[in-house]
C-alpha cells in the first residue's frame, strides 16, 4: 500500500463533507490506552500491577497551504473548526476510497492547528483532531 492515494474527508463548519486529500501529505490515526497503576502497599514480589482504562484516538493531518486557499481546501476547512463545540465527521481511507477499500470514520474536535511559512519552502499546515467516541471500521 502506498500513501499516494490516501483519502481524507472532513466536515467543514457548516457540516458539509469536504475532500481535503489534495492538500494533505500526511495523515495518521493513532490510538492510546490509559493504563492505571493499581499497586497497593507491599505488593507481592515487589512488582506494580495495572488495569486497563479508556481508549483515545487522535487524527493527525498535515499538508500544504495552497495559494488558492478556499472554503474547500484543507487550510480553509480546518482552522474555522477552532472553538467549535460541535464535532466534525471524518472519513479516512489509508488506501484510497474505491469501493471495497478500508474506511475508518468517526467524529472529532480540533485540538490544535498551525501553519508554517518560510522563505525556502511551500507553506505547510498541521492539525491535531481529537476523536470523540469510537472509530468505526468498515469499507467504502
Instruction: Identify the pLDDT of residue 114.
Output: 95
Instruction: Identify the pLDDT of residue 75.
Output: 82
Per-residue confidence band for 1, with pLDDT thresholds at 50, 70 and 90: low
d(CA 129, CA 86): 13
What is the rounded average pLDDT for all residues in the chain?
A: 91
Give me the numbers of helices (H) and strands (E) for the chain, helices first please: 1, 7
Query: 70-98: per-residue pLDDT in tens?
Result: 777 888 899 889 888 899 999 999 999 99
Q: Select the more confidently predicted residue: 38 or 29.
A: 29
How many alpha carbons fall within 13 Å on the CB side of residue 120? 0
The CATH architecture assigned to 3-33+50-139 reads Roll (2.30)
Structural domain spans, the chain: 3-33+50-139
Integer angstrom CA distances of residue 116 from 5, 75, 113, 122, 127 = 25, 12, 10, 9, 12
Per-residue confidence band for 4, with pLDDT thresholds at 50, 70 and 90: confident
- β-strand partners of 96: none
Amino acid at each position: 500500500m502506498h500513501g499516494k492515494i490516501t483519502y481524507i474527508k472532513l466536515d467543514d463548519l457548516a457540516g458539509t463533507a469536504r475532500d481535503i486529500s489534495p492538500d494533505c501529505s500526511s495523515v495518521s490515526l493513532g490510538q492510546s490506552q490509559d493504563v492505571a497503576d493499581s499497586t497497593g502497599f507491599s505488593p507481592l514480589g515487589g512488582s506494580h500491577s495495572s488495569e486497563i482504562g479508556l481508549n483515545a484516538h487522535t487524527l493527525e493531518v498535515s499538508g500544504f497551504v495552497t495559494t488558492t486557499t478556499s472554503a474547500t481546501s484543507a487550510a480553509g476547512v480546518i482552522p474555522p473548526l477552532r472553538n467549535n463545540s460541535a464535532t466534525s465527521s471524518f472519513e479516512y481511507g489509508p488506501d484510497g476510497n474505491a469501493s471495497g477499500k478500508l474506511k475508518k470514520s468517526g467524529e472529532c474536535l480540533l485540538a490544535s492547528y498551525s501553519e508554517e511559512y518560510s522563505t525556502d519552502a511551500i507553506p505547510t499546515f498541521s492539525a491535531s483532531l481529537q476523536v470523540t467516541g469510537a472509530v468505526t471500521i468498515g469499507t467504502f
